[in-house]
Amino acid sequence: MKGASSRYAGGRREWVKIKRRDTVDVIAGGVLGSLRRPEVVIVGRYTDAGELVIVGRTVPLTAAQSAELGAVLKPARRGHPWPDEISAQRWGGRDSKKPLTKVQPLVVLEVLADAATQAGQWRHGLRYARYRPDLTPDDVPPFPAPADS
């Protein structure tokens, strides 16, 4: 936080940046790593037209989080709409592709997300909070349409 009358002082840290994260529900649609021990979850939401679109990815999971999700994720059936590989560049990484293990989009997760979005996706990694067995994908609201589309 910055006082209204404070001035910039080179080399000194007088301002405090506070990042706010909201809890949101998303649908697990794929993982990086193995299905039984996922490293990162690629998440989606349905559009108003019923299309499952990628809206973000988690930061790397802890061993406990990986085990919890590995126990409930099921391999995708034919017709999953997502690609077989996903680019790391999508979230600011190098332009390398990683194999995407697609899962049945039945598992709802609660994640912590900051407000920054771009082209219909959260720009920064989502922090996994918990598995939501009490919710179905129909309970997850559609992701807002990007303002630039």
Answer yes or no: is pLDDT of 148 > 50: no
More confident residue, 31 or 16: 31
CA gap 90, 134 in Å, rounded: 31
- Domains parsed from the chain with CATH numbers: 22-139 (2.40.50.140)
Model confidence at 130: pLDDT above 50: yes
Give how far Cα 111 sits from Cα of 11, 43, 95, 108, Å: 36, 10, 26, 10
Identify the residue with better confidence: 118 or 39. 39
44: which strand partners?
Answer: 27, 54
H helix count then E strand count, the chain: 1, 10
Residue 95 has pLDDT above 50, yes or no: yes
**Residue 14 main-chain phi, psi, to 5 deg:** -105, -15
Contact status, residue 112 vs residue 129, Cβ threshold 8 Å: yes
User: Could you give the percent of the chain with pLDDT greater than 90?
Assistant: 62
User: With 90 as the cut, is the pLDDT of residue 119 above it?
Assistant: no
Task: Give 52-93 pLDDT, tens digit per residue.
Answer: 999 999 999 999 999 999 999 999 999 999 999 998 665 556
H-state helical runs in the chain: 63-70
The DSSP H or E segment spanning 38 is strand 38-46
